[in-house]
Copies of this chain bind each other. A is one copy, B any other.
Amino acid sequence: MASLRARALSGLPELRAGDDLAQMIADAAQRDEPLRDGRLVVIAHKAVSKCEGAVVTLAGVHPSERALELAAQAAAAGQQRDPRAIQVVLDESVAIVRAERGVLVCRTRHGFVCANAGVDASNSADRETLILLPRDPDGSARRIRARLRELTGASVAVLVTDSFGRAWRHGQLDVAIGLAGMQPLDDWRGRTDSGGMQLRATWLAVADAAGAAAELVRAKDSREPVVIVDGLQRYLSDDDGPGAAALLRPLDEDMFR
């Protein structure tokens, strides 16, 4: 019987720029249950961004005309937004998909479509500092994976997540933005089921599903950015694999928006 277990990793210290996140994860795991081959280490992106210094201090930001316009639009809709924070969102975006009621849905430089280009004030040390998405989340995942192997000897996969809103449905889900050592998609297209029929739901976003599973054990208000998942060995690979970038749907193929 297939089974999956996900556990939040406790005991991580407060993170700062320059910290060796892999070392901190290895240490915290050592105190609890050491990392073993075949585990998936799921990391909320803020932990990665903080350690990589992917933060912006508002004091140094000068809002453009466009940022001032969007702040005025937001204010007219009853949402007070700092035009400097909007400028940071614009700087992280290659396109604004929607701008309504004080909310910006953006396509980021990585190609992700999410609210405010993933820019986030929460969990930062103060309101004057914004946390960005990692510059290269797949690269971050690969580096952390290699470092964990160096430190512990264990071959694990690493998944970096953020919480994204979805079309058609309320609420956010944690999805994969960086990945190493795991296949992002499980492709069953063309295979037949136990009754010999072609399978319809045949291309499963297993990395996103793993992010969602991890979200269920991590309290959003606590310092538990890391979740260890066991039971996904069949999706893990020796090499780093194509990363979370392989989950991005080209615009011209997108029928679901």
Binding site for B on A (CB under 8 A): 1-10, 32, 97-98, 100, 103, 105, 112-113, 115-116, 120-125, 127, 162-163, 165-175, 184-185, 188, 191-195, 197-206, 208-210, 212-213, 215-224, 231-232, 246-249, 254-257
Contact = CB atoms under 8 A, between A and B. Distances in A.
B2 A4 contact: no
Contact of A169 (B123, B127, B249): B249
Given A105-B255, A197-B124, A221 B204 contact: no
Contact of A195 (B32, B115, B124, B199): B124
Contact of A255 (B103, B175, B195): B103
Contacts of A191: 221
A122 B200 contact: yes
Contacts of A205: 166, 169-173
A98 to B, nearest CB: 4
A13 to B, nearest CB: 13
B215 A194 contact: no
A174 to B, nearest CB: 7
Contact of A168 (B32, B98, B170, B248): B248
Contact of A5 (B4, B122, B184, B208): B4
Contacts of A247: 169-171
A123 B194 CA distance: 7
Given A197-B123, A212-B212, A219 B2 contact: yes
B194 A256 contact: no
B5 A3 contact: yes
Nearest to A8: B2
A173 to B, nearest CB: 5
